[in-house]
């Protein structure tokens, strides 16, 4: 149909998040894997708003929404190239695990401090994904 398959939106956002971590925070997920640690996806909540055409340039923004002792929720938003029209909003909850055992592990104090520093300040504690979507769409209308 000439547009990006819905499953690719998830791939784009997950790949962008990994790139953002390395580019802006010098944090490489492969370094954690080498230490026997990593994050696995527990669930996604996603809203598709507008199609993205094949080969269309888009902007992807990612940020930490919330975190706990062994989990982390990350927001990914895909916008048009100008960054003004929201195409997709994804919240992904990850669980921190030992790659050796596959069992949950608690985040280190250093990771908890990092998450505290980078948590998106525009997200209200306890806010749900659908409420965040409405917040972003209201901002878009005012924009």
Q: What is the pLDDT of residue 134?
A: 96
In a domain, 45, yes or no: yes
Q: What is the pLDDT of residues 70-121, one digit of tens each?
A: 999 999 999 999 999 999 999 999 999 999 999 999 999 999 999 999 999 9
Q: What is the pLDDT of residues 117-126, one digit of tens each?
A: 999 999 988 9
In a domain, 1, yes or no: no
In a domain, 88, yes or no: yes
Rg over CA atoms, the chain: 16
Q: Which domain holds residue 44?
A: 6-142
Grade residue 140 by pLDDT with cuts at 50, 70 and 90: confident
Q: What is the pLDDT of residue 1?
A: 66
3-state secondary structure the chain: CCECCHHHHHHHHHHHHHHHHHHHHCCCHHHHHHCCEEEEEEEEEEEECCCCECCCCEEEEEEEEEECCCEEEEEEEEEECCCCCEEEEEEEEEEEEECCCCCECCCCHHHHHHHHHHECCCCCCCCCHHHHHHHHHHHHHHC
Q: What total number of domains does the chain contain?
A: 1
In a domain, 58, yes or no: yes
pTM above 0.75, yes or no: yes
In a domain, 10, yes or no: yes
- CA–CA distances in Å: residue 129 to residues 26, 47, 70, 84: 28, 9, 20, 19
Q: What is the pLDDT of residue 143?
A: 63
In a domain, 50, yes or no: yes
Six token digits for residue 46 = 């996603």
CATH number at residue 127: 3.10.129.10
């Amino acid at each position: 149909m000439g547009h990006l398959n819905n499953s690719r939106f998830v791939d784009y956002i997950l790949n962008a998040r990994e790139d953002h971590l390395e580019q802006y925070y010098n944090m490489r997920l492969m370094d954690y894997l080498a230490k026997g640690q990593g994050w696995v996806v527990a669930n996604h909540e996603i809203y598709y708003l507008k199609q993205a055409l094949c080969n269309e340039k888009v902007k992807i923004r990612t940020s930490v929404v919330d975190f706990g002792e062994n989990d982390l929720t990350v927001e990914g938003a895909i916008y048009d190239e100008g960054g003004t029209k929201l195409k997709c909003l994804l919240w992904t909850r990850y669980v921190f695990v030992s790659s050796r055992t596959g069992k949950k592990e608690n985040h280190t104090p250093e990771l908890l401090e990092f998450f505290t520093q980078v948590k998106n300040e525009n997200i209200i504690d306890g806010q749900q994904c659908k409420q965040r979507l409405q917040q972003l769409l209201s901002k878009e209308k005012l924009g």
